[in-house]
């Protein structure tokens, strides 16, 4: 996913998720530099602190597709003169299921009756 981070630095992105009214939205925005999995954007839609959104780099000249990456809203500030709120986003990382559930490591013995 590091190549995706490089693409998002200071570029146009598409944000999607559920706003404070629990309505699904899709909005295009400019991302600020991403540093260590964190970025800041300005959005017209209102978000709740801690909500999950998906960020996809918009690449008009790219030959491959861009996959959405999950982020969590961590720092939501008031609206500016254009009606946009500054939102801090922190990238979420996948976690292995076995970190939460004590699963046997050998799949052949997992379903023995």
pLDDT tens, residue by residue, 65-89: 678 999 999 988 889 888 999 999 9
Residues 6+ apart with CB under 8 A from 109: none
For the chain, the maximum distance between any two Cα atoms, rounded to a whole number of angstroms, is 65
Give the domains, in start order, of the chain with CATH numbers.
Answer: 2-109 (2.30.110.10)
pTM: 0.71
- The per-residue pLDDT for 58 is 85
- The per-residue pLDDT for 28 is 95
Q: Tell me what percent of the residues of the chain surpass a pLDDT of 70.
A: 68
Taking residues 23-27, what's their average pLDDT? 96
Which phi-psi region, left, alpha or beta, contains residue 107 (left: φ > 0; alpha: ψ -120 to 50)? alpha
């Amino acid at each position: 996913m590091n190549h995706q981070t490089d693409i998002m630095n200071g570029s146009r992105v598409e944000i999607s998720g559920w706003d404070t009214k629990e309505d699904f939205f899709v909005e295009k925005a400019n991302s600020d530099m991403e540093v260590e999995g964190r970025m800041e954007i300005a959005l017209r839609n209102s978000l709740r602190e801690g909500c999950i959104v998906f960020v996809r780099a918009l690449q008009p000249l790219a030959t491959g597709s861009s996959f959405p990456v999950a982020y969590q809203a961590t720092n939501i500030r008031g609206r500016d003169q254009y009606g946009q709120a500054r939102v801090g986003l922190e990238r979420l990382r996948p976690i292995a299921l076995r970190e939460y559930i004590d699963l046997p490591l050998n799949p052949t013995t997992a379903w023995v009756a």
